[in-house]
């Protein structure tokens, strides 16, 4: 068992969110997505959209370097959707439009608790073919 950096996207400052409800955070969430700046960090401990996507891209490098033939990854829906979005949409630039596209993708492809994706790639494939199966 290994621990990888496959945690949720923390785009709001964690200290500010302590003891708040989803309803109380809604205006902060809306403001973050309205700003739509891929390099913006919403306070201490928050990561930018750019940082988040870089973590998702690093996942592919980690899998490729790993000696195991099969790997099970348990994570959060936003992270899993970032991986799926990278495979499906193949963004070339992380700009305002890419950020908006991911947000739409994440909402439209919401992963239920306990759900996820099955990804596969044959040995020798140079790129990850889009073979995403929601489970």
Hey, which residues does 51 pair with through a beta bridge? none
Alpha-carbon distance 112 to 19, whole Å? 24
Alpha-carbon distance 46 to 96, whole Å? 18
What 3-state class would DSSP assign to 48? coil
Q: What share of the chain is helix, strand, coil (3-state, %, to 5)?
A: 45, 5, 50
Contact 119, 128 (CB under 8 A): yes
Structure tokens that stand for 117 in this block: 């994706």
**pLDDT 10s digit of each residue in the chain, 135 long?**
888 888 899 999 999 999 999 999 999 999 999 999 999 999 999 999 999 999 999 988 888 888 887 788 888 889 999 998 998 899 999 999 999 999 999 999 888 888 777 777 676 666 665 555 566
């Amino acid at each position: 068992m290994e621990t990888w950096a496959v945690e949720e996207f923390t785009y709001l400052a964690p200290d500010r969110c302590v003891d708040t409800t989803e309803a109380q955070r809604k205006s902060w969430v809306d403001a973050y997505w309205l700003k739509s700046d891929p390099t913006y960090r919403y306070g201490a401990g928050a990561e930018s959209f750019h940082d988040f996507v870089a973590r998702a891209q690093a996942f592919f490098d980690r899998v490729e370097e790993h000696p195991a033939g099969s790997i099970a990854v348990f994570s959060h829906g936003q992270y899993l959707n970032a991986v799926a979005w990278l495979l499906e949409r193949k963004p070339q630039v992380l700009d305002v439009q890419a950020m908006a596209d991911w947000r739409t993708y994440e909402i439209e492809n919401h992963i239920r608790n306990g759900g996820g994706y099955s990804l596969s790639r044959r040995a020798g494939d140079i790129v990850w073919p889009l073979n995403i199966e929601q489970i």
